[in-house]
Amino acid sequence: MIQAIIKPEVEFTGKELRGAPVQTLVRKMKNLEGVFVDQNAWKLSNPEQVLYTVESYCPVAGGTEGGLFFGITHINSGDLSGEFFMTKGHIHEKPNRGEYYWGIRGDGLLVLKPMEGDPWVEKVFPGSLHYIPGYTAHRLINTGKEILDVGACWPADAGHEYGQILKDGFGIRVFQGSEGPRVRFE
């Protein structure tokens, strides 16, 4: 008998991914060398502190043209010398590849830096939708008091390139201010 209706191998509960193929990547303080402006504070920080985790579902091999990957990033609330916890930030290895992000829980900012041109910042909140164009580096920042959960969908052949933007910077840093997040242009 042909089984016409099958149960999908992954479930998106609204907050997280569940299912055997889901992979989880943990990024700790020790993995974020050169990310925060206060490198002295970074050296003195707890290297095992978890800043964010990324759950991803990659149903095809990395590099498959036409394939799509799906992920949820969970960024803890906190700061290092006043600078909010954030992702490393990257541009795609195939730089013309775009991506979608959407806010699920918490409050944050998405910093976007085109290869040529000035950076801009978008507010991330439950229900916010963000189109990340190609040739644009992207970084998430948790500016809230609770965890920030953000969904993502990107091409399986996009890849990740971290080195250049780490060297050049996003041109924008976000700190804890007395009246909320303070954006500093560099």
Footprint of Zn ion on 71-100 (CB under 5 A): 99
107-139 burial code (b ≥16 CB/10 A, e <16): bbbbbbbeeeeebebbebeeebebebebebbbb
Q: How far is the CB of 21 from Zn ion (least distance, A)?
A: 20
- Residue choice 83, 99, 107, 149 for contact with ligand S6P (CB under 6 A): 99
Q: How far is the CB of 154 from Zn ion (least distance, A)?
A: 5
- Decide whether 51 or 140 has the Cβ nearer to Zn ion: 140
The amino acid present at 116, given as its one-letter code, is: E
Footprint of ligand S6P on 39-68 (CB under 6 A): 54
Going from the C-alpha of 124 to that of each of 65, 68, 107, 147, 184, the distances in angstroms are 29, 23, 6, 12, 18
29 neighbors 49 (Cβ within 8 angstroms): yes
- From the list ligand S6P, Zn ion, none, partner contacted by residue 54 (C-beta under 5 to 8 A by kind): ligand S6P
Which part of the chain contacts ligand S6P (CB under 6 A), choosing from 7-15, 88-96, 116-124, 178-186?
88-96
- Residue choice 71, 103, 108, 151 for contact with ligand S6P (CB under 6 A): 71
- Decide whether 120 or 177 has the Cβ nearer to ligand S6P: 120
Q: Encoding tokens for residue 77?
A: 């609330």
The amino acid present at 87, given as its one-letter code, is: T
Q: In which element (H, E) is residue 104 found?
A: strand 99-105
Q: Does 140 bind ligand S6P (CB under 6 A)?
A: yes
